[in-house]
Structure 1
Amino acid sequence: MFNYKITPLENGLENVQGFYCDAVNVGMRPDTEQGDVAFIRSEVPCNISAVFTSNTFQAAPIRHYQRYGKDFQTDFVLINAKNANAMTGEKGIEDIDTIISTLHQKLSVTNPVMSSTGVIGYRLPIDKICSAFDILDFSAKNSHKAARAIMTTDSFKKELAYCVELSDGSHFNIAAICKGAGMINPAMATMLCFIATDADIPKSDMDTLLHAGTEQSFNRISVDGDTSTNDTAMLLANGQSTAYNKEAFSAVLNQLMFELAMMILKDGEGANKLVAFEVKGAKNEEEARKASSALSNSLLVKTALFGEDPNWGRIASTIGASGVACDDTRLTIHYDDLLIYSDTFRELDKEREEQAYHIMKQEQFTVTCDLGMGEGAYTSYGCDLSYEYVKINAEYRT
């Protein structure tokens, strides 16, 4: 067992050696105190790994990224809010080329990439975005501004940073900014996540560990069951600390990504509750995943959570409709440690219903379903669906 120590740090991306970040407002967002164009820059070219949405209609920034080819390096990420540059066809990609061409005139950059979030179906306001290059301070370190600038319906910024001290006395830092509150059902992995590290991590490890971390975090959450056209998680590594250990890096990356995923759920456009849906005793892990994901996506389950209604019938019916092998005589359902359904206790008596009601008033709790069919297990994470969610999304463009 390799010894290492993980310590949380304040100020996000600012902690990572050789990285810079900032944001400005160019008029796409009416609140001039909040930026709408942000950047992350490394003083040396970085290895980059990314996972993207599985939505067939991937946005132009993703398609532009994919044209660079395998194992390219970059030193610059440009991010804009208010416009997703999705469903804009080849013109959307050409607009990115135009923006990057203008950037090259202002700053020496290597294979810059772009990421966008906002409304689907509109081309980027090129002149506004390019105007940012005249006012951005490319030597600034302002993680807070960058984290706020990439928000859409988010109610709070999401950023984390950690220092990892290795047993030989060396250390590396890793940090991230992230956005996401609605249109959240990552399938890779609307959500964006940008992770920067000065660890000297091999590119092959970056790909492996980012995909593994995504499966344990962003791919297990659902706010509303909708998968965006823009979902992106990027990992950039410039190696400037010269320190690295795979076991330690994997542990801190998993921790960082899971915490960010839980932040997204807590910010789920009016959400009041974060709920873990643990399915065990399934025929296999894939069946457990299907049942667990069905629970985290179910609108009826989500509205029951919002109403704090301990109606186990919605849990059971969702499992039964998920297509997995199940049997009502073997099924058990618990809210935290409270048994609310089994073959013996099919009717929720007044005492247990009152106990369940108190559990559901908590901000966080676990729904555990044992199918009694095998050894498969999987946990997804979801939130309730409130009146505020409907209001936010009904008025999204206004």
Structure 2
Amino acid sequence: MFTILPIKGLFEQIEGFYCDGISAGLKPNNALDLGFIYSDTLCDVEALFTENRFQAAPLKHYQMYEKDFKTNFLLINSKNANAMTGKKGIEDINTIFSSLNYDVVNPIMSSTGVIGNPLPIEKIVKGANSFNLKAKNAYNLSKAIMTTDAYEKNCMYEVKLEDGSSFKIGAVAKGAGMINPNLATMLCFICTDANVPKKDMKEALKLNSKTTFNAISVDGDTSTNDTVLLLTNKKSNTYNKEAFFEALRLVMHDMAMLMVADGEGAKKAAAFEVKNAATYEEAEKAAKALSNSLLVKTALFGEDPNFGRIASTIGASGIKSDENRLVISYNDVIVYNKGELVFNEEVEQAAAKVLQNDKFKITCDIGVGEYDFTAYGCDLGYKYVEINADYRT
């Protein structure tokens, strides 16, 4: 038996982890733009990366380390993705780390921002050399890694086991646009003091990514930089596999839901539940088709319960389906029922009222099997176009 409790504060509370965010001049107006995570002991680390074939330099740099390496330092910059920068992008990372005025072991870099520009090495080195490695300010870190995010994203949990022992796990993340992870622009850094066996770290990340980061979409685009990093310093000397897997799922789910709700310009967060599909793969395929559909997203923006767009997307997804078995509902309001037209004025008004909420669920019961999957998405409106049209300017 175990208990998982959300606790106030951020992952800086975990013994041995330090973090902060500063202004290094990458963003205008002295905005925070450079951050770090430091551990006073070496950490085991595991990662999930984007499946975009053009992975950014920081991801390639990470993968050049030997298998099962340990680290004690993570450097994160915003404003510049260091992607599509060729060999120089990796060389620039090595230059930065070799220029630090403190010792770090197998340092990791993570970047987010505009693709195709070289890193401003001098600014990053100057900023990184001003870090106070004993700082504990995860809030500043969460602000420093933001790009088009409207707000910072973080969470913290404590896990208590039956024998009285406990461990903590928390995360900081960024992500609001280019969100259609396919692993895991999104970054997520998870820290814990749980004594997790190395083999369990990768298994837990992969398993939980399926229903969290891999189940969300803002705009259907997969970034070159998507990264999920899990660091453990093992200082609690406590571990329970079932408890850890569930706690990690909660952390990843929290971060994923914050990203969806913060979709660039988004006002609505929707869960797309596909039930009773012929296979798990088909349930997932249909749910993700709904979360990615621009027509569905714009209907949500207009608070229009146009179930025809939902049905059309299900049919176009290519899964096994039958309109005489299909049931579509907005929360508990059924708008289509196994071939029966129930969409009268009263039903439409009730469904429209559901869409006036900030969060809601659209359920599609396929009626041909027993497999379910839920994907998560948001609306798409004028602000998304404005943000991305002006992204580089």
Q: Gapped runs of 5+ residues in structure 2?
A: none
The Cα shift of 1:108 comes to 1.4
Aligned position for 2:19: 21
Structure 1 residue 139: Cα displacement = 1.0
How far residue 7 of structure 1 moved from its aligned partner, in angstroms, is 2.1
CA contact 1:59–1:87 (8 Å) conserved in 2: yes
Q: How does 1:237-316 map to 2 (within 5 A)?
A: 237-316=232-311
**1:1-398 correspondence runs (5 A):** 3-32=1-30, 34-103=31-100, 106-346=101-341, 348-398=343-393
Q: Secondary structure at the match of 2:99?
A: helix
Show CA shifts across 1:158-194 (max 9, x none).
Answer: 1111111111111111111000011100111110000
Question: In the superposition, relative to structure 1, how do residues 359 and 136 fare at CA in structure 2: closer, same or farther (>3 Å)?
Answer: same
Number of equivalences: 393
Instruction: Give me the whole-angstrom Cα distance separating, in 1, the residues matched to 2:292 and 2:19.
Output: 35
Residues 172, 244 of structure 1: 8 Å contact kept? yes
Displacement after TM superposition at 1:375 (Å): 1.5
Structure 1 runs of 4+ with >6 Å offset: none
Q: How far 1:345 moved relative to its partner? A: 2.4
Identity of aligned residues (%): 55
The AA in structure 1 aligned to 2:6 is P
Cα separation, 2, equivalents of 1:346 and 1:70: 58
1:6·1:162 contact (CA, 8 Å) conserved in 2?
yes
Q: Which amino acid aligns with 2:353?
A: H
The range that moved more, 35-44 or 326-335, is: 326-335
Shift of residue 216 of structure 1? 1.8
Deviates more, 1:231-240 or 1:356-365: 356-365
**Distance in 1 between residues matched to 2:338 and 2:129, nearest whole Å:** 68
Q: Distance in 1 between matches of 2:369 and 2:158?
A: 41
Unaligned runs of 5+ in 1: none
Shift of 1:69: 2.6
1:8 is displaced (CA, Å) by: 1.9
Task: Provide the aligned C-alpha RMSD in A.
Answer: 1.0
- Does the aligned pair in 2 maintain the 1:223–1:383 contact within 8 Å? yes
Moved more, 233-242 or 131-140: 131-140
CA shift for structure 1 position 35: 1.6
Alignment TM-score, normalising by the size of structure 1: 0.97
In structure 1, what residue type is equivalent to 2:231?
A: L
Distance across 2 between alignment mates of 1:217 and 1:109: 32
Q: TM-score, normalised by structure 2?
A: 0.98
User: Hey, what's the Cα distance between the residues in 1 that align with 2:17 and 2:339?
Assistant: 60
Shift of 1:107: 1.3
CA deviations on 1:235-291 (whole Å, 9 max, x unpaired) are 000111111111111111111110111111111111111111011121100011111
Deviation (angstroms), 1:321: 0.8
Q: Secondary structure at the match of 1:353?
A: helix
| Cα pair 1:13 1:21 within 8 Å, conserved | no
**C-alpha distance in 1 between matches for 2:10 and 2:388:** 29
Deviation track 1:46-76 (CA, whole Å, cap 9, x = no partner) reads 0000000000001000011001031111110
| Cα distance in 2 between the residues matched to 1:271 and 1:311 | 19
